Structure 1
């Protein structure tokens, strides 16, 4: 049984679960993390922070946060799935059950959202699959370790029926292809020109917290969202790949503007670092030799 009004942390096979239930009459958030938030091993899992837990707990919002331990972990162990089956019955008391996940976490969330009978879920730049044959066009998938528990061909979140809101960059081809694989007509919010950096971008624009909290109680305000995105022109990485003309809609005038802002950002953030320059030069030479 879920314990009320107390912070609880448990290990289920290769997953850490941390939760705090403040008020069962309020919405419940269930979260899954990106791959970069993996906890190294079980020895440090009790003391390691669980992604997103503090964000909700400090605001006294009901939260059940999951975190993976080690590589090749897609939240697919028999013990973990058994836990979710039991959890589904216990969380039925909440008026609204909401999921939030990023990248690998968005994959895991959409993989299990139907099992948990969630009311809705927020996915940021989701992977729809980690099967190398299915998503051979995604370097993240190609370079990922295979699951230690499952055949990767059966781990496919694209059939998720839970209502989804997806935030992604359509100019990032791999991310777009993943989003297009989802069978349902999801609500799509687009951030052009930032690549696989959606949470990072929203954080740098001071929008991430507001976007999540808006989704928790309803829907994300489109006017707020797209007005705030105008400030991404001040982010250096926004111009990193823009000059590659990912869409034929780029006019010559727009290309000139991109180059101008890219140059300005480089001048503003310029640092003369001989060691870093030499390292990049040596890497470039090695690539050309090989």
Structure 2
């Protein structure tokens, strides 16, 4: 089923698969992308980049990368699921089968890791579900398009039994609630005050590659991980959510320290850019006008 030693691209219904098998005696990576990496249409899918493929292939590491085509696509088509049932047998020859996905990709792995028979999976700030009635507290879920082929209530990854390692920001309320929904005992790594941008933060800290490669071969060195996170105070977005207090655990002294660093960061990176200020004001005014129009329409329609 899988070709060896050749870069191969296939389209399975509304999903692109790109893979390269270098050595069957090495682990195989199975990856799913975040929602922002959607490929626009079938025509574009023949040449479009497939998320994560180049990262692994350039290192000559076995990789099967999946990418969704179009919006409202949750890797849930019957044709694609049937393909995964077959793929499970093809990848059984590898000594280790490892999943990696972020956001929507983490959700997709929650759905399909058991089906693929993966040994483990690394999820970064995953959605456990995209059903609005199950997760009304997540703006990403609430604003997402419904699946074009499935009842959203059936798309729930909380029952995944494959061992999962999850990296997330507990200060992000929605991400914390998604992690809490998983029924198994997770291995969790926490990175505070970066929001729903964990891979971006790890990349800015020059940690992302090490984290992925460590997980591929074994487990993430937690001591090294948390030492590396000390540099996040130099990230421009680190203190943006400082007033959020998980379990009300912040002391007044800690809040004062956070605000001090936040202010120092703002002053250090301050740039006066009139065009951006004007754009933000225009956008804000437009939103307010639209809200007023909607209220007037509701009043007039009564």
TM-score normalised by length of structure 1: 0.97
**Residues 124 and 166 in structure 2, CA contact (< 8 A), matched pair in contact too:** yes
Shift of 1:199: 0.4
**Residue-pair matches, total:** 290
8 Å contact from structure 2 (residues 96, 119) kept in 1 = yes
Change (3 A) 1:146 1:250: same
Match of 1:135 in 2: 135
- What is the correspondence of 1:58-207 to structure 2 with a 5 Å cutoff? 58-207=58-207
Query: SS where residue 238 of structure 2 aligns?
Result: helix
After TM superposition, the structure 1 stretch with the greater mean CA deviation from structure 2, 272-281 or 104-113, is 272-281
Aligned to 1:216: 216
Separation in structure 1 between the aligned mates of residue 72 and residue 266 of structure 2, nearest angstrom: 37
- Distance in 1 of aligned mates of 2:17 and 2:227: 36
Contact map agreement 2:170 2:246 (CA 8 A) in 1 = no
Secondary structure, counterpart of 2:44 in structure 1 = helix
SS at match of 1:237: coil
Aligned to 1:227: 227
Distance change in 2, residues 1:264/1:209 (3 Å): same
Which structure 1 residue ranges, 4+ long, deviate > 6 Å from structure 2?
none
TM-score after normalising by structure 2: 0.93
Q: Which residue of 2 aligns with 1:261?
A: 261
C-alpha distance in structure 2 between counterparts of 1:279 and 1:6, whole Å: 48
Q: Output one character per residue of 1:104-131: Cα deviation in whole Å (capped at 9) or x when no partner.
A: 0000011000000000000100100000
Q: By how many angstroms is 1:280 displaced?
A: 2.1
Superposed displacement of residue 269, structure 1: 1.7
Structure 2 match to 1:15: 15
Contact 2:171–2:244 (CA under 8 A) maintained in structure 1: no
CA distance in 1, matches of 2:98, 2:244: 38
CA shift digits 1:184-213 (9 cap, x unpaired)? 001011111111011001000000000000
Give distance in 1, aligned partners of 2:175 and 2:273: 33
Alignment-derived partner of residue 51 in structure 1: 51
State the alpha-carbon separation in 1 of the partners of residues 285 and 40 from structure 2: 34
Gaps of 5+ in 2: 293-302
Structure 2: distance between partners of 1:260 and 1:286: 33
Instruction: Tell me, in whole angstroms, the C-alpha distance in 2 between the residues paired with 1:247 and 1:235.
Output: 24
For the residues of structure 1 that align with 2:150 and 2:220, how far apart are their CA atoms?
35
| Contact 2:10–2:18, Cα closer than 8 Å, also in 1 | yes
Q: What is the Cα deviation at residue 281 of structure 1?
A: 2.5
Alpha-carbon RMSD: 1.2
Cα shift at 1:271: 1.5
Q: Deviations over 1:34-70 (max 9, x none)?
A: 0011111111112111000011101111000000011
List runs of 5+ in structure 1 lacking aligned partners: none
